[in-house]
A and B are shown apart, each in its own frame.
Chain A
């Protein structure tokens, strides 16, 4: 379960002064549900997800992840979260197995239990053929699988995906999409950011449209269709963001 309450983040920029990257964002994401955060580049998606993963600290407001406050108990939040983005790379000089084991150990899993989990995940993701290969020698697909294994090793209840398919080829992107679906089936709370409409339509139970740091619209796709009298998600997005986009450009 993820619950954000007035979540805000301000950055100081030398040229532009203070920037409100995320502005008073509140939403709830329930177990067994995929929440899709849809927005253009620079809308505030990554900052929101980084705050949920406690990589950044909110300037105002807060979020509760699996019953732990992101400001008060960031380490407990991270112990319950699996965070995956195209920016979360692998250690090039570790093997795929060492990489996954390292994150297992950091999550307090050791010895026989760690071995059991590594074997199970490597088997499930069909990774045994490259488990002893260094990460800098892996193909993009193998790297993505290793990243997935890294996020799964501690069996987190919450999965956060920040534009996980960005820059990936179709086959690798499909692996990720399948994995996100599987997370929902296993009852995990999933939050997912993207600017690819088709991915949102395929995957998300609830959609939040974010622009200039503000959550402008939220709800399941049928509800948004009804609310904005549009069938196509792209049209809905333009209707929601359009007026604010023009204002921002001016």
Chain B
């Protein structure tokens, strides 16, 4: 190997790469914009939509209840509901979103309360429609309050204390620090995105520097120069790796900025509730550094593997058709790491991509299992070395370079 020749090839490829709009979009623009748009945009949109839905006073219809004036009066008293007159097409009105929900009070309901006969009140709503769900929740809440009051009255009539119904309380208390809660909730998703962007960042330069070069007719030009094929493939590989890493670095950077921005919109002090707290993610320098270190051998693996496959193709389009299905090969293990209950085991630590995604999830959650980290790093390095070896071998095959 001649490091000077590798450097010359690398510099030339870098110059061309920086002048290529297509690869710049996939390597620089997408990771820089994806996270802010995805995280900030989604948070803003969700908060806005939920806030609006919560503020709305839903139109509710009462079905029946003519013989139960007390419960109807109790419902009418609720300020967060607007009772509209009964109409026979209430089902249609819920579907059309004219009313948000309807409550059916069975005949003889009020009388049944006196005789202890059990009756069922049914709430009709539009499942999956957030404003309808809020309407149904309001009705259910007020009916529960009414039911509790009936129970209290019954107990009082029998001179029994209400505490008889609750001999003890049950309480859940979270002991995990907020960043671990966040890591478990969205850590896997971050690892998944870093891996995916690492791959997409490598994909276009890998095609451009192999099949693209064949298609443009420059492969024969460079092969006629004194540079050895090993130096040539290493120079090209370093550029593809740089693109993959640039994408990973930019995505981690943009992720950090996005979460900082999200904290600004939704500060922890104000959030209070555990649900809001779960969305707060602290990305300090240590997890960022470790995610980068774990992504490094995977980027080498992607760069070499994609180049090896793309070199088979005669044209840019043909290479794209080979590599597009590869995206699924990457997405499936990365998504598997997001599934609930999938945890890092010594066996899974040997599965490329999945292991990196799982370890990123743990790192973000603040858990550092050093033996697993070492095993994943070394096994991914081994896969990367095999892929690089194959890429070098492939560049020495005349039937691949001059496939007709």
A binds B: yes
A residues neighboring B (CB under 8 Å): 11-12, 50, 53, 55-57, 75-76, 78-79, 81, 83, 85, 87-94, 98, 102-103, 105-108, 134, 150
With both beta carbons as reference points, the residue of chain A lying nearest to B7 in the complex is identified as: A105
Q: Are A87 and B217 in contact (CB under 8 A)?
A: yes
Could you tell me the distance in whole angstroms from the C-beta of A223 to the nearest C-beta in chain B?
Answer: 32
Task: Tell me, rounded to whole Å, the shortest Cβ–Cβ distance linking A69 to chain B.
Answer: 15
A79 touches B224 (CB 8 A): no
- B402 at interface by CB-CB < 8 Å: yes
The interface centre, meaning the residue of B15, B220, B224 with most chain A CB atoms within 10 A of its CB, is B224
**Measured CA separation A79–B224 after assembly (Å):** 9
Asked whether any CB of chain A lies closer than 8 Å to the CB of B43, the reply is: no
Give bound CA distance, A12 to B400, whole Å.
12
Q: A93-B15, A94-B12, A106-B5 are in contact. Are A83 and B224 (CB under 8 A)?
A: yes
Q: Name the residue of chain B whose CB is nearest to the CB of A88.
A: B221
Q: Is the CB of B225 within 8 A of A107?
A: yes
State which residues 209-239 of B face A: CB under 8 Å. 216-218, 220-221, 223-228
A56-B398, A87-B217, A88-B220 known; A93+B16 contact, CB < 8 A: yes
3 nearest A-B residue pairs (beta carbon): A89-B217, A83-B224, A88-B221
Known: A56-B402, A87-B217. 11 other contacts (CB 8 A): A12-B399, A50-B220, A76-B226, A78-B224, A88-B217, A89-B220, A91-B216, A91-B221, A106-B227, A108-B226, A150-B221
A to B CB contacts below 8 Å, 7 in the list: A56-B398, A57-B398, A88-B220, A93-B16, A94-B15, A106-B5, A106-B227
- Give B231 Cβ to nearest chain A Cβ, in Å: 9
Task: Tell me which residues across on chain B come within 8 A of A107, comparing CB atoms.
Answer: 225-226
Chain A nearest CB: distance from B355 CB in Å? 38
> How far in angstroms is the closest Cβ of chain A from B401?
8
A146 to chain B, nearest CB (A): 11
Contact between B16 and A89, CB atoms less than 8 A apart:
no
- With A89-B216, A89-B217, A92-B216 in contact, do A106 and B225 touch (Cβ < 8 Å)? yes
Q: Which of A88, A94, A134 has the most CB of B within 10 A?
A: A88
Q: How far is the CB of A19 from chain B (nearest CB, A)?
A: 12
**Cα of A190 to Cα of B157 in the assembled complex, Å:** 117
Partner of A75, one of B20, B220, B228: B228
Question: Cβ of A11: which chain B residues have Cβ within 8 Å of it?
Answer: 399
Residue B19 at the A interface, CB < 8 A?
yes
Closest Cβ of chain A to B324, distance in Å, is 24
The one of B8, B218, B398, B399 that contacts A89, using a Cβ cutoff of 8 Å: B218
Can you name the residue of chain A whose Cβ is closest to the Cβ of B19? Answer: A93
Please, how many angstroms separate the alpha-carbon atoms of A174 and B8 in the complex?
A: 34
Contact in complex: A87, B15 (CB < 8 Å): no
Which residues from chain B sit less than 8 Å from chain A, CB to CB?
5, 8-9, 12, 15-16, 19-20, 216-218, 220-221, 223-228, 398-399, 402
**Bound CA span A56–B402, Å:** 9
Closest B residue to A9 by CB, please name it: B398
B2 to A, closest residue via Cβ: A75
Complex Cα gap A208–B404 (Å): 27
Taken together as a complex, chains A and B put the C-alpha atoms of A94 and B218 apart, in Å, by 12
Q: How far is the CA of A55 from the CA of B224 in the complex (A)?
A: 6
- The chain A residue sitting closest to B218, CB to CB, is A89
Give the residues in chain A near B5, CB-CB below 8 Å.
106
Contacts of A93 in B (CB 8 A): 15-16, 19-20
Bound state CA distance, A88 and B12, in angstroms? 17
Residues of A within 8 A of B227 (CB): 75, 106
Chain B residues near A78: list those with CB within 8 A. 224-226
The answer to whether A106 touches B224, judged by C-beta atoms less than 8 angstroms apart, is no
Contacts of B402 in A (CB 8 A): 56
B16 close to A94 (CB less than 8 A): yes
- Asked whether, in the complex, the Cβ of A106 is within 8 Å of the Cβ of B8, the reply is yes
Contact B221–A90 (Cβ < 8 Å)? yes
Q: Which residue of B lies closest to A154 (CB)?
A: B226
Complex CA gap A56/B216 in Å reads 19
A53 contact set on B, CB distance < 8 A: 224
Most buried by A among B9, B20, B218, B398: B218
Query: Which of these, B15, B223, B399, contacts A55 with CB under 8 Å?
Result: B223
Query: Known: A81-B224, A106-B8. Contact between A91 and B218, CB under 8 A?
Result: yes
Q: Which residues of B have CB within 8 Å of A94?
A: 12, 15-16
What chain A residues lie within 8 Å of B216 (beta carbons)?
89, 91-92
Which partner residue on chain A sits nearest B224 by CB separation? A83
Distance between B326 CB and nearest chain A CB, rounded to angstroms: 25
Task: Give A160's nearest chain B residue, CB to CB.
Answer: B224
Given the interface contacts A55-B220, A89-B216, does A106 sit within 8 Å of B226 by beta carbon? yes
Report Cα–Cα, A87/B224, bound state, in Å.
Answer: 11
Bound-state CA distance A12–B217 (Å) is 23
- The residue of chain B having its C-beta at the shortest distance from the C-beta of A53 within the complex is B224
Q: Which of chain A's residues have a CB closer than 8 A to the CB of B228?
A: 75
